[in-house]
Amino acid sequence: MFIRANGLIGRKLFAVDGELGRVEDLYLDDETWNVRYLAVDTSDWLRDSLILVSTCEIAGVCPLTGNCAVSLTKDILAQSPVLPAGVPVTRKFEIELCRHFGWLPYWPLSLVGLAFAPSDGGNVPIPVMRKEHAPGLRRVRENRHLHGMRGVEGHRVHAVDGDVGEVRDFITETNDWTVRYLVVDMGLHHNQREVLMSPSWIHQADWTSGQIWVRFGADEMEASPPFEPDGKVSHEYETRLLSLIHI
């Protein structure tokens, strides 16, 4: 099922034994273009800090309400490592999440300087950095490829021959939580309409300055079929969109 990422913001998240909180943000992996985590606000019953829930734990998304169900209990989530507001997600923090929940890491593991310890469940090996490889631990901490989607909204999109608009949303496939398209608002100079852009068209991105460059010209972007705010990504729409882009 295709969903707009913004459609999940503010929606309820349910554990197997009750309501957990509301979705505050989605964390995007800029290397694979997968949504890795939902950031959940649990302040109504637990604490002010955010809890990250892996998309591998999402059991389903209601097509009518946008509410999500996860295959975890409130108790294990209540004991989860927390992410203070405004703090980026580091690989070190992700390792702590893996140890707590027993998740297998999604990133490639380097065996240099790593030992393996059981998770709390005792059956999933989790990487642990040896003390003698402290510099390597520093590299792990700084290996950041995750971005809150709400922070990416507003990033400027540039074609090879000029600015074409800004990111407004993302279209995500909930079967595997792949980001299939970015929704780009082309602004006043391009008839004030939204079009879809595949991540595969991106040539370069500067996440710090909020700039994204694509491989084609502004004319090709302008020729893209408009995407209605409440529209669905049909096979016919995708076929028409891809037929107009020549990379």
Q: Which two tokens stand for residue 102?
A: 């027993």
Element holding 238 (H helix, E strand): helix 235-244
User: What's the confidence (pLDDT) of residue 128?
Assistant: 45
Element holding 183 (H helix, E strand): strand 178-185
Q: Are 127 and 134 in contact (CB under 8 A)?
A: no
Residue 112's pLDDT band (boundaries 50, 70, 90)? very low
User: What's the confidence (pLDDT) of residue 116?
Assistant: 46
For 185-223, the pLDDT digits (tens) are 988 666 668 899 999 999 999 999 999 999 988 888 888
Angle at the Cα of 73 from the Cα atoms of 68 and 77, rounded to 5 degrees: 90
Give 217's contacts (C-beta < 8 A, 6+ positions apart): 159, 160, 161
Residue 122's pLDDT band (boundaries 50, 70, 90)? very low
What is the pTM assigned to this prediction? 0.82
pLDDT at residue 141 is higher than 50: no
